[in-house]
Amino acid sequence: MNFNGRIGFDRRRPIADINIVPYVDVMLVLLVIFMVTAPILTQGVKVDLPQAKAEPLAQDEKPPIVVTVDAAGKLFLDQTQEPLSAATLAVKVQDLLRVNPTRSVLVRGDKQVAYGQVMAAMVLLKQAGVSKLGLMTQHDDET
């Protein structure tokens, strides 16, 4: 018995420490989830972009449509893994622009592909009704 002022009462202080073990467990689970899903999010065709000293474009609320021309000259739309024919690409881009006509289109051309193949893709997109067309490059970090 504790006789500190009152008889019969045991005065224990409550523990004021925060138990962080559950928080650490949750953070470790989230870390594992992000480590597993991060490589999945970077899908698409592997393209070696040319480097240029250009400022990045301002981001709109809608992401741009990305047309890729790989080193073999094959055409891809956004994150697809299978190549598309020129006619199929034009139809799909027209369908996407029908939903949102102000959306811009960017062309990712591998630096090993012939200039004429990238230009042919750009002409195809212009014929499909694209009003905002641009080229993607890799940012050159050298100053």
- CATH 3.40.50.300 for domain 51-139: no
Average pLDDT of the residues of the chain:
80
Q: Tokens 């799909």 map to which residue? A: 92
Rounded to the nearest angstrom, the gap between the alpha carbon of residue 139 and the centroid of all alpha carbons in its chain is: 16
Please say if the pLDDT value at position 76 is more than 60.
yes
Q: What percent of the chain has pLDDT over 90?
A: 15
DSSP 95-115: HHHHH-TT--EEEEE-TTS-H
Task: Indicate the Cα dihedral angle 133, 71, 79, 88, nearest 10°.
Answer: 70
Average of per-residue pLDDT across 30-46: 75
DSSP 35-94: HHHHHHHS-S----PPEE--PPPPP-SSPPEEEEE-TT--EEETT-SS-B-HHHHHHHHH
| 9-23, 98-112, 122-136: range with lowest mean pLDDT | 9-23
Q: Is the pTM of this model over 0.85?
A: no
